[in-house]
Structure formats: C-alpha cells, structure tokens
Amino acid sequence: MSKNKVQIFDTTLRDGEQVPGCKLNTQQKLIIAERLDILGVDVIEAGFPISSPGDFTSVEAIAKLVKNATVCGLTRANQKDIEVAADALKYAKKPRIHTGIGTSDSHILYKFNSTQDKIIERAIQAVAYAKTFVEDVEFYAEDAGRTDNVYLARVLEQVIKAGATVLNIPDTTGYCLPDEYGAKIKFLKENVKGIDNVILSCHCHNDLGLATANAIAGVQNGARQIECTINGIGERAGNTALEEVVMILKQHPYLNLDTNINTKLLYSTSQLVQQSMGMVVQPNKAIIGENAFAHSSGIHQDGVIKNRETYEIIDPADVGVTESSIVLTARSGRAALAYRAKNVGYELTKIQLDDIYPQFLKFADHHKEVNDEDIHHLMELNHISKSK
C-alpha cells in the first residue's frame, strides 16, 4: 500500500525567528532557506513581509532563490498585509499567502473587540483578496486549540468557499492534549463541507511540552501538513520540532505516513540553525542533541557494543550522525573501556583489562568523563603499547 504523504511546512524563518536574540540577517536566512530546500521541506515560511523592511527583503530574496519548495509569507487578515506579502512573493516559483485571524472567544473579544459573525466576514474577505494574487492560499484560525469546534467548523467552511487551499489549525498557546487536538482534527474532517478538497495543517506550540505529540495526533486523524521548525525553536517554548515528527513517522511505518525529507541531512541542518542563531539545543534534545546517541551506563554500553539495537531505536547514520558514542564514566564497565581503548589503538588482553579497570574506576570517580588523552595516559602508566 502506498504511503500517505505528510507535507512538511517549515517555519524556522518566521515563527522560529521570533525567538528573542535569534534574529538573522538576509544572508543567513538565504543560507538556511537553501538548506531547507535541499533537506526536502515542501513549504518554507520565509517571514512576515509587512513586519519590517528587512523581513520584506528577506522574503523577496528567498522567493527568488528557492528552487523546489513553495515559499510562503504570513499576513494578518487585512488588505495592506496581503498586498505587501504578494509583492514580496512575486518572484517565487510556487508562492503561498498565509493569512488568518484569531477565532477563540478571547481573541475575538480582547484582540478584536468583535463578534463571531464579523470575524467570519473578515476571514472570507482576507482569503478572497489573497486569492486575487496567488492560487495557493493558506488560512490560519489563530488559537484554534481553544476555539469551539462548531464555530471553527463554520469559519473553515466559509474560507474553503472563498478559495483557501490549506487550513491551518494552530494550537497557538500550546494548550491542547494530544487526544483533544486529534479529536478536533477528526471533528473538522467529519463536519466541514469541502474539507476533502483542502489540506488540514497542524501548527502546535510547546508550552506544555506537547507540540510534537499534538502534531502526530493531528496527522493520525487526517491532517496532511505539519508546521514545524528545526530544533523546535519558536515563540515562547517553541514549535513542533521538524526532526522529531519526521523521525516519528519514519520509525513507525505502520502509520502509513511519510515525508519528503532526506533524514540524513537532519543533524547538519540542526547544526547550521544552532550556529546561525547562536542558540544551542540542550544535550538531551531528541534526534539531534549531543547525547541523543551517547551511551554512558555500563549496562547500556555493554548492550550497544554487542548490538546497537539493544538500546537504539534509530540508526544514527539515518539522521547524519556518524556513530553512536560510548562515553566513559565511573558507570562504565570493562566492555566499554576495552572498546574505547581499541578505538584509540590498544587491543587489551583479559589480564590487562582486569589490571587496568580498577585504576580506571578510581580516575573516573574524580572526573566527569574519561577522554582519549586519559586512556593514553592510563596505558602509558601500565606500560601498554599500541597494537600493531
């Protein structure tokens, strides 16, 4: 059975760049956009063109540069935003305008001091106006996570009629639980007229650490686009991490969903974004963190040395990491010491290993990690020379 494609909509350069202190210049954005295109993302959200002259210039330059992906610009639901976005996207091979408005009670009341019916009118007008510039119009119902499902369905039915091609259901505040978000997508699939002619998109924030789980629940219930960022960066606690959703779909083939991403480029793309933004991810970050394939306890090291699959569900090579690492600490056993010693040139006999191991433990107890230099030193002290 052929797999269903999930489109990957990357918003590293828009939602991701909203992170304080992570501002990029146009040149840096171009390098990242080119890399995202090679990585295989389907859509690059290049920026919010009306937000500043710099953002306009970047979106325009990215639109000129990108060869394969759709290039998208964000707008609010007003004519000026849409005109400026259309202008910034005029050189794109595949342009998309991403327009929308808040639909939850708190957005309608506090942001717009408006009513549900008036918000629907504005949504229709925005989509219809965007449609006069580009064929591909994505509509976002901001704070859909906290929007009443019946009202949300009404909004979406109207914007489909106005010409929307993609419907974004953002959990803007990262509030939903996975079953709740999945049920929302299912409800929309079952209750919105015309929904089968458009793509439903998941845009989840990570305020409760659920952005990835919610996006996966969304595609399990019929959404076919995930909006995400490299390293999960983004407003507040961030967005769904691209590398996480891509690898979840790859590692669970029975879901029958896949993406166009070349996973072997995930690690290097993550490094590029970390370096450009000056934002280093935590070592235990899933998929691309420095410890994602590092084993430090004796029991785990022994298993991994015998067979990687005992403690690894992903082949590191699949995400562009050269190999798993065996980190030597006071928790390491003889197998790990022998393995690391061999890697730096010493093939130890059982007697040598039995002699050295207590010395190794003594040393390791006073150091966070035992590195290659320390191994050489230990061998020298014991008059062990390198194997031929």
Instruction: Give the residue with the Cβ less far from ligand KIV, 140 or 175.
Output: 140
* 42 touching ligand KIV, by CB under 6 A: no
Q: Please identify the residue of the shown chain whose CB is closest to the bound Zn ion.
A: 15
CB of residue 100 to Zn ion, shortest distance in Å: 11
Return the H-helix or E-strand segment holding 376.
helix 372-381
Q: Near ligand KIV by CB under 6 A, which window of 168-176, 191-199, 267-275, 364-372? A: 168-176
Instruction: Give the residue with the Cβ less far from ligand KIV, 111 or 118.
Output: 111
CB of residue 235 to Zn ion, shortest distance in Å: 6
Residues in the chain: 388
> Which residue in 7, 172, 212, 259 binds ligand KIV (CB under 6 A)?
172
* Amino acid found at 152: L
> Which residue in 170, 218, 232, 238 binds ligand KIV (CB under 6 A)?
170
- Tokens representing 357 are 């191991």
CB of residue 175 to Zn ion, shortest distance in Å: 13
CB environment 99-120: b (16+ within 10 A), e (fewer) = bbbbbbeebbeeeeeeeeeebb
- d(Cα 276, Cα 280) in Å, to the nearest integer? 10
* 15 touching Zn ion, by CB under 5 A: yes
> Which residue in 10, 15, 37, 81 binds ligand KIV (CB under 6 A)?
15
Q: Which residues make Cβ contacts (< 8 Å) with residue 5, sequence separation at least 6? A: 224, 257, 258, 259, 260
Which of positions 133-152 make contact with ligand KIV (CB under 6 A)? 140, 142
Calculate the alpha carbon distances from 387 to 112, 305, 341, 349, 352 in Å. 75, 20, 11, 11, 13
- d(Cα 93, Cα 207) in Å, to the nearest integer? 35
> Which residue in 35, 96, 203, 285 binds ligand KIV (CB under 6 A)?
203
Q: Which residues bind Zn ion (CB under 5 A)?
A: 15
Q: Which residues bind ligand KIV (CB under 6 A)?
A: 15, 140, 142, 168, 170, 172, 203, 205
